[in-house]
Structure 1
């Protein structure tokens, strides 16, 4: 799944979560050309989208047919969002995406506590990955 399609999926999924008051596309110029801005727990939270392509993929060509498989395991317990650039909010957002049960997504995971930045990642059955740092 490429960034534009993932961004649309994530926006739709976030908008269905009762704890999220708003979700819109976001970018920060050339440093973060794709991302999402959310209204969570009364605060604005943003995350950038960075994609790791499938080896050998020609991004100048149309996206190949989706590779599907079992959906990602849910992340439990799903924490309440803190609405900040913190690990709790990252785990919450990862849980929202994992709970969507999308057949192209193999795994959704929050970054480990020892990670320098709060964020989470998505791995696809195609081998592509998307990383999301809270900004």
Structure 2
């Protein structure tokens, strides 16, 4: 699977998501990273909402995930990578479309996270896994 280039900025924190409680902790870390950049509340809320969807997908569909959070003080951006080694996404266009779900959800996860983020990129390979990168400007 093609990997995205190195994240900009410096490492803020790294998390492994293996249970539901890990999603909560990783979300809090993203919030703290936005606070460190003195983000406006609405900007912080948008990014935390977006990563919630991505982290949950990593746990449910990827069987767990590794989350890396970077702060780029120069650009006032928080960057997040979420990688899993799950089954991957066969049809990316379909997966990003509103209403599509491979589970029992509303089908707004990936597309909604993309809309809530200032930067969003996803790479996936069936049988190998998925990497989602998103960022929010403070």
Per chain length, whose mean CA-contact separation is higher, i.e. which structure has more relative contact order (CA < 8 Å, sep 6+)?
2
Which protein has the bigger helix share? 2
User: TM over 0.5: same fold?
Assistant: no
TM-score normalised by length of structure 2: 0.33
